Amino acid sequence: MENITGRDVTVGGLVIAWIAISKQMERCEVDNICRRYEHSTVLSSGGWRSIINEQKRRLRLTDNVFIGIEDQEGPINAEIVQTEGEDHYVLLTGSVEHPINVEVLLAHELAHAALRHTRGSWLSSNLAAVLFGVAYILTTNIFLAILAAVLAESLLITPMRQQEEFDADRKAAEIAGPQKVIETLELLKRTEKPLPVVDSIFSNHPPIDERIKRIHDYFSPVLLCEPDA
Ligand SMILES: [Zn+2]
């Protein structure tokens, strides 16, 4: 192997900085959701408490989950993060009066927690940075190294995260009913803003039509039996 050059040290530093920045961004996202949860309306009383406990029981989810709603105008949305202490925080945004089925959104987010999607593996978070470094060491061509990182993100990481969305939809359909999940996705589709092309290539969320199709394909015998299907 050739001697290590100043350029190799620079690339090594870039990879380490990339990994450190992405870790810090993940921490900021968790802190942001936790802070907003503190100021949200906590869903822990009355009927919601029993709905949440029933969903957790059916998902066999024993971790602590803290769920809050930020009352806002506009379409409802949901996010989930996991803290270093293994607690999950779900933040729903939008108006509880909105026609979107909050139970379905909760089922989808709790499914992410039950399926252990909420904290990405070290490799999935850093694969692009690692491949960038490896490609540079092998080729010493910065453009090929950038290409390796972009390909890793678009061909490996994005499809893996999109598969997690399909899996969470399927689990949500198992506990909330496939027809309700389809109706919720159709409502989301009507309120969704179209993404720019580049964002849609790297989006963690697959196209809503594809999510609906997957549920139809997987649950078609059940859907045919449902009276309102
Ligand atoms: Zn999701």
Mean pLDDT of 200-211: 81
Name the nearest CA neighbour of 77 among 102, 97, 52, 45.
Answer: 102
What is the spatial distance between Cα 37 and Cα 209, in angstroms, rounded to a whole number? 31
Position 207 pLDDT exceeds 70: yes
Position 229 pLDDT exceeds 50: no
With cut-offs at 50, 70 and 90, classify the pLDDT of residue 201.
Answer: low
Between the CA of 170 and the centroid of ligand 1 the distance, in Å, is 11
Between the CA of 229 and the centroid of ligand 1 the distance, in Å, is 24
Between the CA of 105 and the centroid of ligand 1 the distance, in Å, is 9
Residue 200, pLDDT score: 60
Between the CA of 194 and the centroid of ligand 1 the distance, in Å, is 17
Residues near 49 by Cβ (< 8 Å), separated by ≥ 6? Answer: 43
Between the CA of 88 and the centroid of ligand 1 the distance, in Å, is 14
Between the CA of 109 and the centroid of ligand 1 the distance, in Å, is 6
33-58 residue pLDDT tens: 999 999 998 887 777 889 999 999 99
Between the CA of 163 and the centroid of ligand 1 the distance, in Å, is 10
Between the CA of 222 and the centroid of ligand 1 the distance, in Å, is 23
Residue 73, pLDDT score: 76
Residue identified by tokens 């490799």 is 123
97-152 residue pLDDT tens: 666 788 899 999 999 999 988 766 777 788 889 999 999 988 988 899 999 999 99
Position 228 pLDDT exceeds 60: no
With cut-offs at 50, 70 and 90, classify the pLDDT of residue 80.
Answer: very high
Residue 21, pLDDT score: 92
With cut-offs at 50, 70 and 90, classify the pLDDT of residue 86.
Answer: confident
Between the CA of 112 and the centroid of ligand 1 the distance, in Å, is 7
Give CA angle at 25 (163, 139), nearest 5°: 75
Residue 102, pLDDT score: 84
What is the spatial distance between Cα 82 and Cα 91, in angstroms, rounded to a whole number? 12
What is the amino acid identity at position 81?
Answer: V
162-183 residue pLDDT tens: 999 999 999 999 999 999 999 9
Residues near 71 by Cβ (< 8 Å), separated by ≥ 6? Answer: 41, 94, 95, 96
- Look at 18 and 97; give whichever has higher pLDDT: 18
Residue 34's H or E segment, with its range, is helix 6-38
